[in-house]
């Protein structure tokens, strides 16, 4: 069974930083493009970032470009998201997901970790 | 960016009755190599999203056959043939044909 477990969320003041982790089991993330998607409380889903299978190609939503950094350690089977210069509007649940490249959809999701940006 | 527009935003239904959700994209979702990367997600209350349908009409593993997807180009539909209580939640369409990936705003299915 595939499991993705996010961690690292919490309460942080505006301008602060956090590092989110997504630990995978039951699947080798080295075979997958990996994604981060966020959801503000009570709101819809928004794509944040993606990494190809070896981390050599990454991309970001315009709203987080220059502030967030996606990375991965395939040996540890873990995906990361470094969040810097956080703003109130970054408050959300952050989900990691595997991306099925052949069929173009997000096929496994973690339960998410909540990031709250507030003073 | 491709804008995904879902209708309705809220859909009250009775158990055993059908339900239908529409998703329209601002541009064609047909990729240059011919596939259409339109999928549907279900998010039950307090749960993460889970995949239902991929490439317009393919059911993900374990998804009941009362769920079906259809459409082409810019217009897509998710249908539930007979709604059950466990189907309560939010439904999202998402396109992966063009970067950045974009989601519909969600449709709340209520019983």
Alpha carbon of A76: minimum distance to chain B alpha carbons (Å): 24
**Is the peptide bond prior to A75 cis by the omega test (within 30 degrees of 0)?**
no
Q: Is the pLDDT of residue B67 over 90?
A: yes
A24 confidence band (pLDDT: 50, 70, 90): very high
User: Tens of pLDDT along B83-95?
Assistant: 999 999 999 999 9
Distance (Å, whole) CA B76 – CA B70: 6
Question: Which residues on neighbouring strands pair with residue A99, listed in sequence order?
Answer: A33, A106
Phi, psi for residue B98 in degrees, rounded to 5: -125, 140
What residues in B contact A109, CB-CB < 8 Å? Answer: 48-50
B99 is written with which tokens?
């970067």
Provide the pLDDT confidence category of residue B111 given band limits of 50, 70 and 90: confident
Task: Say how far apart CA A41 and CA B51 lie, in whole Å.
Answer: 20
> Hey, is the C-beta of B20 within 8 angstroms of any chain A C-beta?
no
A33–chain B Cβ distance below 8 A for any pair: no
- State whether B35 and A100 contact (CB < 8 Å): no
Query: pLDDT at residue A79 above 90?
Result: yes
Q: What is the DSSP letter of B101?
A: P
pLDDT over threshold 90, residue A10? yes
Average pLDDT, integer, range B62-74: 96
Mean pLDDT of A28-51: 96
**Residue B99 pLDDT exceeds 90:** no
Kindly state the average pLDDT of the residues A35-64. 96
- Residue pairs between chains A and B whose CB atoms are closer than 8 Å: 62
CB contact under 8 A, B39 and A104: yes
């Amino acid at each position: 069974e595939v499991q993705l477990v996010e961690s690292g969320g919490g309460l942080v003041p505006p301008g602060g930083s956090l590092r989110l982790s997504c630990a995978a089991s039951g699947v080798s993330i080295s075979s997958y493009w990996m994604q981060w998607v966020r959801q503000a409380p009570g709101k819809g889903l928004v794509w944040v970032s993606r990494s190809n299978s070896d981390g050599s190609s990454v991309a970001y939503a315009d709203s987080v470009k220059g502030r967030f950094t996606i990375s991965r350690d395939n040996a540890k089977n873990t995906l990361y998201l470094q969040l810097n210069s956080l703003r109130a509007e970054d408050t959300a649940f952050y989900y990691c997901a595997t991306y099925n490249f052949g069929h173009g959809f997000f096929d496994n999701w973690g339960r998410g970790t909540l990031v709250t940006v507030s003073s | 960016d491709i804008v995904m527009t879902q209708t309705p935003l809220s859909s009250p239904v009775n158990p055993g009755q059908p339900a239908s959700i529409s998703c329209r994209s601002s541009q064609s979702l047909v990729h240059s190599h011919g596939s259409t990367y339109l999928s549907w997600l279900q998010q039950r209350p307090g749960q993460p999203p889970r995949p239902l349908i991929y490439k317009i009409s393919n059911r993900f593993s374990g998804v009941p056959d009362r769920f079906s997807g259809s459409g082409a180009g810019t217009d897509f539909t998710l249908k539930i043939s007979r709604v059950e209580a466990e189907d309560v939640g939010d439904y999202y369409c998402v396109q992966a044909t063009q970067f950045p990936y974009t989601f519909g705003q969600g449709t709340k299915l209520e019983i």
